[in-house]
Structure 1
């Protein structure tokens, strides 16, 4: 990590839906993207679907700080979407990868 750089908090996560529910899971996560788009510290909330397995949805997040991310999860509307998504998951969500985001296009 470059010395003196100011990093942002990043997460890269994989969610697997039960068979036939990938589109529904992706739709819920896109709703979440809309909700957090104006949340304090949210730079990126990107939802992607695996082209080889429609049950797998990837979420890429960049936040100013981990605290901003954690606070976003406390919003009642976000909590409602989490409750809506949980029954669609094929098992417990995999632990996401935490990243120190150094910069790049879209983060200036």
Structure 2
């Protein structure tokens, strides 16, 4: 199987901003969904965690992921999210895909 690039990250919102952060990330998913190499951009949350939002991305390559940050509107969404984050976002986990359905 050709190796794809998987990035899994957790972003923590300031108290009361989880829904707004989720909405910004969903907007980002819509912008990158048609980008070259985008296989998955999923935004998720744990109902028992009032501040965390998770993003799981699968790309054909790391270059395709990096290029997605240059899509019109993506930087603006990042700038919109920064003030409502509780601290700097941590580096996401770069995971190796071992197999599975649909990949």
TM-score strictly above 0.5? yes
SS in 2 for 1:62: strand
1:52-95 per-position Cα deviation (integer Å, ceiling 9, x unaligned): 11310000000000000000001231111101111110000011
Larger radius of gyration: 1
Preserved CA contact (<8 Å) 2:29 2:42: yes
Which ranges of structure 1 fall in alignment gaps of 5 or more residues? none
| Deviation beyond 6 Å, 4+ runs, structure 1 | none
User: Aligned residues, how many?
Assistant: 103
| Structure 2 spans left out of the alignment, 5+ residues | none
The CA RMSD measured in Å over matched residues stands at 1.0
Which residue in 1 is equivalent to 2:70? 74
Whether 2:21 is the aligned partner of 1:25: answer yes
Within 2, Cα distance between the matches of 1:97 and 1:39?
A: 21
